[in-house]
Chains A and B, each alone.
Chain A
Amino acid sequence: MVGDTWWVNSSTGRTPICTATARFRQILAESGRAAISLVDVTKHFDGSLTTAVDGLSFEVATGEIVALVGPSGCGKTTTLKMINRLVEPTSGTIMVLGADQGSLPAHELRRSIGYVIQQIGLFPHRTVRRNIGVVPELIGWDRERIDARCDELADLVGLERDLLDRYPAALSGGQQQRAGVARALAADPPILLMDEPYSAVDPIVRARLQDDLLALQDTVHKTIVIVTHDIDEAIKLADRVAVMNVGGILEQFATPDELLDAPANEFVASFLGRERGLRRLALRKVADVTPIAGPSVTPGASLSAALSVMDDFATTWVAVAEAEVLHGWLSRETVEGALDPGDPGSTVGDLPLRPFGSRVSPTTPLREALDVIVNAHSRMAVVIERDGDRDRYLGMITIDEVAGGLES
């Protein structure tokens, strides 16, 4: 069952698809735009009084990350498991890559979908390398190709290569998590399903793993569905978030920004929690707003010019900058103290300048920038961009500019 990699044209460019059976390849060739779509899916477990999932419908576009969040009992894990048929839907249709997933034998479908679970579930009796190589082995790659792929994946997920030949018991929780992700990606499946993947690790490791996932996604462009109970994790990772309520009801399906800006109802609002505005700010960067010039003079300006600028802006300080170079700042006292009627030629540049403490870069999230501004005596931050080996000064931002960022 060895084959070459097949490609599919999608909205985000060409997406590689893992080698699978001939039938699956055929199905993939006719794939539509949505990678996964659920149509009126219901799940009712035997012997249970409540419905786990009730008439759920949504789509996941190719290459996007969708998070399913909600309280316990909302059916998010059940929904995830229905995508790769670990749980069979009671009614409704699920299309995966344009094909009805019921049309394939379950185990074949699952070899084309990567799956990461909370408790990781690495096989204790196999080395990490052989764990990662499980699906490639199943679909018939040869040893050399599997080994090469394992090395490549280890680098991709941030796992040291010498851990590959150890047994899972020798790895820490975070390392096992990475191995679990590598295993899910081994056969290069187009879809990745993750069930609370980071709940079992401590917050510091979790943050790092989340950042790694985002970096990974930039490289591999998978369609990812993540189940999490942590709304902040969903907001951080997902392109779109599906908020579900108990009984498998979809309350809102929107981008994190839309979600925070306009929660659909009471439930969503209370699930999101407080400080929605600030959290929206975390989604934007300094580059999204336009900095102002602010109270600023060139080094060649006269001292009285500096004083009048300070009067105009009603500040007790003035910045000294020219073109895109920021030299520093001067306090009013310094300027006034140096003002000598007998020496009208002295310029601002002659005085000792102090460097700015409150700096941000264009990639700084606005929420962090707000923190810098609030802590600065001057109530503003300077925007500096690192360009090669020099710093470019782009202007200043104040609270007004930051708040304006929420309006776009």
Chain B
Amino acid sequence: MNTISGAIDFLSTAENWTGPRGIFARTWAQIWISLVAMAIAAAIAIPGSVWLAHRRRVPNLSVAMVNLGRAIPSFAIIVLIFPFSIRFGFGLGFWPTCVALVIIGVPPMFTNAYAGISSTPRDMVEAASGIGMTDHQVLRKVELPVSLPLLITGVRIAAVTIVATATLGAIVGYDCLGTYIVSGLRRGESGRPEVLVGAVLVAALALGVDLFLDRLERAVSPWNR
């Protein structure tokens, strides 16, 4: 078929791989924005949720966050941030996408960190404070280690979701692998091979990241498997 042969041609052309709009650059762009968004989301989600869980506050917030996070379409979030980004001078492309990705990444990390800390067995916590640990020590030496597996799972879920959703950043002008798909769609019939190329690359990246993180998760918490 035309589309498939066109896609193969595209992929076998060296120029398409290098350069500022090449495959390598766009792949890195997608990974980079994901890393930034992950870091920011983690900085927001984890300390807050760990502290709240430790203090046993607002358990319903965690549940509400997940439900709402799932109900709000990521497409909508990206597009909604866009006008604000323009108005406040952050331009298009990187920042609206990044902010949107942070918003998307916070709920799974928050919820899993919260669940991890709050599901630490009560008697373990009581035993620890019983032998004279301060509140802070209980958190650091008992609750955090025990909740590590769940925490890591939350980070992994957030990471995979963020990398996947970064694809949509192409719609608001962020130059990543999604751009192949979006600009290909805009060009109609002639853009079909490009759409396929973009789709294959994005799928490969998403699956690759998932696989990588899966191995990482197993390596870090072998006792869980």
Chains A and B share a contact (CB less than 8 Å): no
Binding site for B on A (CB under 8 A): none
Binding site for A on B (CB under 8 A): none
